[in-house]
């Protein structure tokens, strides 16, 4: 079983369905219910599919147990492959079941949201949420393959598309090639392919997130706090996390690039501005920051941009970061 490396392939629907059909005799699926009408009849009627009607709300221990017991009763074996079809919540849950059932079986990810195509399904971080927070129980268990089919995006709501775009904006700062593609208004499927490829290369070098994988967290420290405080989508929160990080550290060139890329990606500018959120609470925001997983004792590791395609880890005393935020006009 491959543990660290996934084959990331872009595929059209007919080819994808033909590939899945070959596994019909032994098909263990965890599938987002929103996709039900967009899948072949034999999958819709399969007795070995666990359907998720509210994937994020079901990304928990209760559903984890239900899916595991369901597959055990259906006779899953160590040579079986679990197939996840859906957004990041579905692939995270299915991957976590795959990591632990029978001490680990193979799994295949078929992401159907833009966010999952460029981020969530790639890299083998699998998890469920608990009452104490998101992704607190998990493992590293890479899917043997990630099959990315852009045809699924045709039914994706605009807000979910924006979420994926927010994460793509982040890649623009990590890779000069990706920023050029964004600024040249290259078709989305090409940009998404490059992002997925970029992430899988980073992950291959640092599967357990000990070194350069940390760079992928660019924008995420403030982003997670925005996501929790404002209840905006993950990718929109990351886009805001980037913008306000650059504001805090007076990185004018990065702010200019942020503007250009956000414009090119057609992100809704008004919703990326804190002023849009009348109920924003600085106290709540800093409380969420304090819970950030990357905080070690008194300091926090932030990712900053040196120039397009070159980012670095910057460790800062947590109290200094808080002071910077509390004193910055953008947050007041
Ligand atoms: N493991 C990782 O490295 C990683 C990275 C980023 C995010 N994540 C996780 O991913 C999750 C967020 O992923 P997401 O944004 O894909 O959310 P999601 O899986 O909750 O999907 C968002 C919504 O889109 C719907 N949907 C999915 N595909 C669709 C389609 N093709 N057409 C119409 N509707 C569709 C879903 O039913 C859901 O309502 C979070 O749980 C986050 O923690 C994981």
Q: What CATH number is attached to the domain comprising 174?
A: 1.20.1090.10
Instruction: Give the pocket of ligand 1 (CB within 6 Å).
Output: 32, 34-35, 55-56, 59, 86-90, 92, 112-113, 115-116, 119-120, 123, 125, 134-135, 152, 155-156, 160, 163, 234
Q: What SS3 state is found at 19? A: helix
Which atom of ligand 1 lies closest to the CA of 153? 31
Asked if 72 and 144 sit in the same domain, the reply is yes
> Per the domain annotation, does 221 fall within a domain?
yes
Asked if 213 and 275 sit in the same domain, the reply is yes
Between the CA of 111 and the centroid of ligand 1 the distance, in Å, is 8
Between the CA of 4 and the centroid of ligand 1 the distance, in Å, is 22
State the sign of the Cα–Cα–Cα–Cα dihedral 94, 62, 113, 211: negative
> Per the domain annotation, does 192 fall within a domain?
no
Asked if 123 and 170 sit in the same domain, the reply is no
By most ligand atoms within 8 Å of CB, the mutation choice from 89, 146, 159 for ligand 1 is: 89
Asked if 291 and 145 sit in the same domain, the reply is no
Asked if 180 and 326 sit in the same domain, the reply is yes
Asked if 129 and 182 sit in the same domain, the reply is no
- The CATH number assigned to the domain holding 90 equals 3.40.50.1970
Between the CA of 314 and the centroid of ligand 1 the distance, in Å, is 30
Closest C-alpha residue for ligand 1 atom 7 = 120
Full pLDDT tens readout for the chain, 332 residues: 445 678 999 999 999 999 999 999 999 999 999 999 999 999 999 999 999 999 999 999 999 999 999 999 999 999 999 999 999 999 999 999 999 999 999 999 999 999 999 999 999 999 999 998 889 999 999 999 999 999 999 999 999 999 999 999 999 999 999 999 999 999 999 999 999 999 999 999 888 887 789 999 999 999 999 999 999 999 999 999 999 999 999 999 999 999 999 999 999 999 999 999 998 999 999 998 887 766 667 889 999 999 999 999 999 999 999 999 999 999 98
What residues make up the domain containing 231?
158-186+205-331
Residue 250, H or E segment: none
> Per the domain annotation, does 200 fall within a domain?
no
> Per the domain annotation, does 299 fall within a domain?
yes
Asked if 219 and 285 sit in the same domain, the reply is yes
Asked if 211 and 301 sit in the same domain, the reply is yes
> Per the domain annotation, does 191 fall within a domain?
no
Strand 133-140 with 81-86, pairing? unpaired
> Per the domain annotation, does 193 fall within a domain?
no
Asked if 171 and 302 sit in the same domain, the reply is yes
Asked if 149 and 166 sit in the same domain, the reply is no
Asked if 12 and 132 sit in the same domain, the reply is yes
Task: Please name which of 144, 147, 318, 181 lies closest in space to residue 260, comparing C-alpha atoms.
Answer: 181
What does the alpha-carbon distance between residue 20 and residue 34 come to, in Å, rounded to a whole number?
18
State the sign of the Cα–Cα–Cα–Cα dihedral 57, 61, 62, 64: positive
The pLDDT value given to residue 294:
64
Between the CA of 295 and the centroid of ligand 1 the distance, in Å, is 26
Asked if 179 and 117 sit in the same domain, the reply is no
The pLDDT value given to residue 1:
41
By most ligand atoms within 8 Å of CB, the mutation choice from 8, 33, 34 for ligand 1 is: 34
Q: Domain total for the chain?
A: 2
pTM, entire model: 0.96
């Amino acid at each position: 079983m491959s543990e660290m490396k996934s084959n990331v392939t872009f595929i059209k629907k007919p080819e994808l369905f033909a590939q899945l059909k070959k596994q019909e005799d032994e098909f263990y699926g965890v599938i987002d219910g929103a996709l039900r009408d967009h899948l072949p009849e034999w999958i819709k009627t399969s007795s070995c599919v666990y359907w998720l009607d509210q994937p994020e709300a079901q990304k928990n221990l209760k559903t984890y147990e239900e899916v595991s017991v369901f597959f055990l009763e259906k006779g899953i074996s160590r040579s079986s492959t679990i197939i996840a079809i859906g957004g990041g919540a579905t692939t995270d849950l299915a991957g976590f079941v795959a990591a632990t059932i029978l001490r680990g079986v193979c799994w295949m990810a078929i992401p159907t949201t833009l966010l999952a195509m460029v981020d969530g399904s790639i890299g083998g971080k699998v998890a469920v949420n608990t009452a104490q927070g998101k992704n607190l129980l998990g493992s590293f268990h890479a899917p043997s393959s990630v099959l990315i089919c852009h045809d699924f995006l045709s039914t994706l709501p605009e807000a979910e598309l924006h979420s994926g775009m927010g994460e793509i904006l982040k890649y623009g700062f990590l890779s000069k090639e990706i920023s050029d593609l964004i600024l040249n208004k290259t078709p989305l499927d090409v940009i998404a392919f490059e992002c997925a490829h970029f992430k899988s290369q980073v992950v291959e070098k640092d599967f357990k997130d000990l070194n350069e994988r940390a760079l992928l967290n660019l924008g995420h420290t403030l982003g997670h706090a925005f996501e929790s405080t404002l209840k905006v989508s993950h990718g929109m929160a990351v886009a805001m996390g980037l913008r306000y990080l650059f504001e805090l550290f007076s990185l004018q060139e990065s702010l200019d690039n942020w503007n250009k890329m956000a414009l090119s990606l057609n992100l809704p500018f008004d919703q990326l501005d804190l002023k849009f959120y009348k109920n924003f609470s600085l106290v709540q925001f800093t409380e969420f920051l304090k819970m950030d997983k990357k905080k070690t004792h008194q300091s926090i590791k932030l990712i900053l941009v040196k120039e397009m395609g070159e980012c670095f880890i910057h460790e800062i005393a947590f109290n200094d970061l808080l002071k910077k935020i509390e004193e910055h006009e953008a947050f007041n």
